[in-house]
Amino acid sequence: MSYERTDLKKFVPLTPQEVKARGWDELDILFISGDAYIDHHSFGIPLLSRYLISKGYRVGIVAQPQNIEDIKRLGTPKLFIGIGTGVVDSMINNYTADKKPRRDDEYSPGGKGGLRPDNAGIKYSEMARQAFPDAFIVGGGVEISLRRLSHYDYWQNKVLPSILVTGKYDLIVYGMGERTTLELCQALKSKDKDKIKSIKGVAYVTTKDEAKQIENRLVLPSHEEVKDDKKKFLKSVTLYSEEINPYNAKTIVQYYRDKAVVITPPPLPLTEAEMDEIYDLDLTKEQHWTYKEKIPALDMIRFSITANRGCFGGCTFCSITLHQGKIVQSRSQRSIINEIKKLTSMPDFKGIITDLGGPTANMYMLCCTNKEAEKVCKRGSCLHPEICNNLKTSHKEQIDLLRTASNMPGIRKVFIASGVRYDLALCDQEYLKELISEHVSGQLKVAPEHKDPKVLWLMRKPSFDVFLKFREVFNRISRTANKEQYLVPYFISSFPGTTTEKMKDLEDWLKKEHWKLQQVQNFIPLPMTLASAMYWSEMDFRNKEHIHVPKTQEERKKQKLNLQSYKKR
């Protein structure tokens, strides 16, 4: 395929020719990505690259490097090397819950597996340090940022140190990172390295003596304590899980012999204007032209639109709150409508928006209505054990957005493919009618996760009765709309607190209801989550009482088969 010079400016540079076409003699920032390059808002590194370019920085991407020479291809960056392993943790991407290798990878050309290494966060940092010994190396994204403290690693079955200790990083940016990374660029450009340590949303290593001088700090049990003491490990995870509110979070410190890992408080949530600025960036929604084979993930997300980020659900097994933040941040309707207008001008767009949502579709524009209470709140979840009285539950803005988008020229249908938090949806009957009547593409994803009340408490999920109530409403509205459509429930086997008997009880219920599952997820403990701490410690995070945890592959396989035996064929 032949490309003119102007075509070489279409994407963030992936090749030396594209750097040259922009008139750049060197880069300010070089990003290393574990995903192949898809220029879409759903991918962190392309979005962050576009954002920094809009601020005047020269940025290039090396996607899925296989060797040191790949990393050197675009030259030495002036400010820093940024590393992200991809949308999905490399170990989850490369292995099943049963620790068996996967052969495919939806984020690679042709769906081929094997193009990103195991533990890519460490491997890429070693490659980058070897390629550029004097570079300032920054890690970010889900895999790296969720290993910023001592954490339980499912694959090695032990507590590992912070990746700042085991990897070759100078700094970690945790969270979504746009504002934090921009502040980092400004500090590095001015050569003010002391300023870096005051940026919100970063983690770094310093001396023990320097860490002791930090004001308003929370000192966790040291790595030497938590790696061998399960009770102290659970205490550590519980403590930092309470420091997620950016309005009152403390600086977290954890000692590693004579060193200290320091985590500055989370950044304040982005304003609507900041969200609009980021998502108004003109990404192509295409894969980079150098790829000869299609990247499967592109088909999933190409005609989807992100309306919001963050989640106040606080499920103990989920990393969204830890990564995107507890406070939901939403774009304006104007920004979303403008993006839809751009979709309608794409030659292969057929008028179907495959998803208009976020981590949780029905949290758009929802927020705390008591700003004074929000500033001091320490709740891990706004929805559990009951929905907070201060939480806005009216879905009026989302209803208006869905109706406005649906009535635009060139739009045939707007679907919701993101998960819906059904306990929240039940608070707004008008939203339920709009959603179920107009925006379900035949199936709607919901996540009851379990049936047993004690396990649901450990998950921070609503009672099973709430799910049954939602199912009743869904079926009634579907009948009224004269539509044949179905709920797609997600259940987790082998979660802490789950016995084989409890899983059998769920299986019996499914058989009684003649409900055949499409998907069963065998629990994987994700780093830094409360669920991973319960898995490792075999203790309830609330009262430290012993709970049963399915750990052997034999028991985990049996629990999964209890549900798979009734899986849809």
Taking the domains of the chain in order of start, what are their residue ranges?
Answer: 7-208, 442-569
- At residue 458, the 3 state secondary structure works out as helix
Q: For 288-318, how does the pLDDT look when each residue is reduced to its tens digit (9 = 90+)? A: 999 999 999 999 999 999 999 999 999 999 9
Question: Looking at residue 4, what is its pLDDT?
Answer: 46
Looking at residues 121-126, what average pLDDT do you find? 98
Structure tokens at 175: 């969270």
pTM above 0.75, yes or no: yes
Looking at residues 214-218, what average pLDDT do you find? 96
Question: Looking at residue 240, what is its pLDDT?
Answer: 96
Question: Looking at residue 2, what is its pLDDT?
Answer: 40
Question: Looking at residue 264, what is its pLDDT?
Answer: 98
Q: Give the 3-state secondary structure of 337-356.
A: HHHHHHHHCCCCCCCEECEE
The lowest-confidence range among 62-71, 106-115, 371-380, 509-518 is 509-518
The lowest-confidence range among 6-15, 336-345, 458-467, 515-524 is 515-524
Q: For 162-183, how does the pLDDT look when each residue is reduced to its tens digit (9 = 90+)? A: 999 999 999 999 999 999 999 9
Q: Which CATH number fits domain 442-569: 3.40.50.300, 3.40.50.360, 3.30.750.200, 3.40.50.740?
A: 3.30.750.200
Looking at residues 101-105, what average pLDDT do you find? 95
Question: Looking at residue 216, what is its pLDDT?
Answer: 95
Name 39's Cβ contacts closer than 8 Å, sequence gap at least 6.
11, 12, 46, 50, 283, 284, 285, 286, 287, 288
Q: What is the mean pLDDT of the chain?
A: 95
Name 541's Cβ contacts closer than 8 Å, sequence gap at least 6.
234, 237, 238, 316, 458, 530, 533, 534
The lowest-confidence range among 32-41, 256-265, 500-509 is 500-509
Structure tokens at 264: 């500055």
pLDDT > 90: percent of the chain: 91
Give the Cα separation of 8 and 4 in Å (integer).
7
Question: Looking at residue 46, what is its pLDDT?
Answer: 98
Looking at residues 90-119, what average pLDDT do you find? 96
pLDDT band at 566 (very low <50, low <70, confident <90, very high): low
Looking at residues 188-207, what average pLDDT do you find? 94
pLDDT over 60 (residue 95): yes
pLDDT over 60 (residue 5): no
pLDDT band at 500 (very low <50, low <70, confident <90, very high): confident
pLDDT band at 565 (very low <50, low <70, confident <90, very high): low
Residue 143: HSE in the Cβ half-sphere, 13 Å Cα cutoff: 28
Looking at residues 387-394, what average pLDDT do you find? 98
Query: How many other CB atoms are there within 10 angstroms of residue 379's CB atom?
Result: 17
